[in-house]
């Protein structure tokens, strides 16, 4: 393969891998907002918290990546359930301003607890041996773990789409969003449904944290570095739209990859320029709908 073509292909795969990771983070955020109307500013902090749960689980299990991949997102999801039950449920109906203040405060609390328990040092979380090598793609060597990131993110997209649009549970969740009082009158415990949705959303943030941990350094402010991009994905794709989140995540991933390659000093600007252009023509996002 020609060296120039190989470079373009490699950057493209890097972009898709980063885009899929953004989707994995943003999907939980857009699910929570779309189904509950809560803009959770602590979402990136849950993502970061899961990387530490993964680091600790691996330390307790002799470095097992697979144990961490299962355990850390579950613990993160359970923390999310407790936060929704005892904190967010009390402020959910008091307005957006209170939601933003409480969730932003929650993010600061999570960061503070992480620094108190694990310190501020950067930690490493290596990938499993079976995914640490290179894979030959059309004569080009590419990290196997990046392909794993793409595969697990795409699998989650299919799984969520199936649950939300092809199962009775998904029908109940969507109906509860449209008319919670009617669904409650039919005998469905709407608060339990919303608590489950929030737990699933934070579980997804936790899954993203474990998956991305082997390619970054684990530190208390990890959420800041990708959290902003995740919010851009949700806003630009349209609040509550999984399809919009997926499309925008792919675009931003490729903009990031090729931007770093060719105009590294302006790469960050591309993300916000894309958001500004989309919102100028579609203020509710690409797939957002006016209330």
Asked whether residue 18 is domain-assigned, the answer is yes
Query: CB neighbours (10 Å) of residue 281?
Result: 7
8 Å CB contact between 174 and 168: no
Asked whether residue 113 is domain-assigned, the answer is yes
Mean pLDDT of 118-124: 89
In whole angstroms, what is the distance from residue 213 CA to residue 217 CA? 7
How many domains, the chain?
Answer: 1
Asked whether residue 187 is domain-assigned, the answer is yes
Residue found by looking up tokens 């943003």 in the block? 26
Which range of residues forms the domain containing residue 8?
A: 3-222
8 Å CB contact between 46 and 57: no
Asked whether residue 261 is domain-assigned, the answer is no
CA 224 to chain centroid: 13
Asked whether residue 78 is domain-assigned, the answer is yes
The whole-number pLDDT of residue 41 equals 87
Asked whether residue 11 is domain-assigned, the answer is yes
CA-based nearest residue to 209, from 12, 56, 15: 56
**pTM metric for this prediction:** 0.89
Tell whether the model's pLDDT for residue 234 goes beyond 70.
Answer: yes
Q: What is the mean pLDDT of the chain?
A: 85
Asked whether residue 70 is domain-assigned, the answer is yes
Asked whether residue 32 is domain-assigned, the answer is yes
The whole-number pLDDT of residue 55 equals 92
């Amino acid at each position: 393969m020609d060296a120039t073509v190989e470079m373009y292909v490699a950057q493209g795969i890097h972009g898709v891998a980063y885009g899929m990771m953004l989707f994995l983070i943003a999907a939980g955020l857009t699910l929570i907002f779309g189904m509950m109307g809560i803009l959770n500013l602590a979402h990136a902090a849950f993502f970061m918290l899961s990387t530490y749960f993964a680091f600790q689980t691996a330390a307790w299990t002799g470095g097992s990546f697979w144990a961490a991949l299962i355990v850390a997102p579950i613990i993160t999801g359970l923390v999310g359930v407790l936060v929704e039950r005892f904190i967010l449920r009390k402020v959910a109906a008091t307005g957006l301003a209170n939601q933003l203040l409480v969730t932003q405060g929650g993010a600061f609390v999570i960061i503070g607890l992480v620094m108190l328990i694990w310190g501020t040092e950067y930690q490493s979380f290596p990938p499993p041996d079976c995914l640490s090598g290179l894979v030959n793609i059309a004569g080009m060597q590419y990290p196997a773990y990046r392909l794993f990131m793409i595969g697990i993110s795409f699998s989650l997209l299919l799984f969520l789409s199936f649950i939300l649009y092809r199962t009775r549970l998904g029908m109940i969740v969507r109906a509860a969003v449209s008319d919670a009082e009617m669904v409650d009158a039919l005998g469905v415990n709407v608060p339990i449904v919303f608590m489950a949705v929030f737990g699933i959303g934070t579980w997804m943030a936790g899954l993203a944290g474990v998956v991305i941990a082997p390619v970054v350094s684990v530190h208390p402010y990890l959420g800041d570095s990708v959290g902003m991009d995740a919010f851009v994905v949700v806003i630009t794709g349209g609040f509550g739209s999984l399809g919009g989140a997926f499309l925008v995540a792919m675009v931003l991933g490729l903009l990031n990859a090729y931007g770093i390659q060719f105009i590294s000093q302006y790469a960050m600007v591309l993300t916000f320029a894309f958001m500004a252009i989309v919102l100028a023509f579609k203020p509710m996002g690409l797939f957002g709908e006016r209330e």
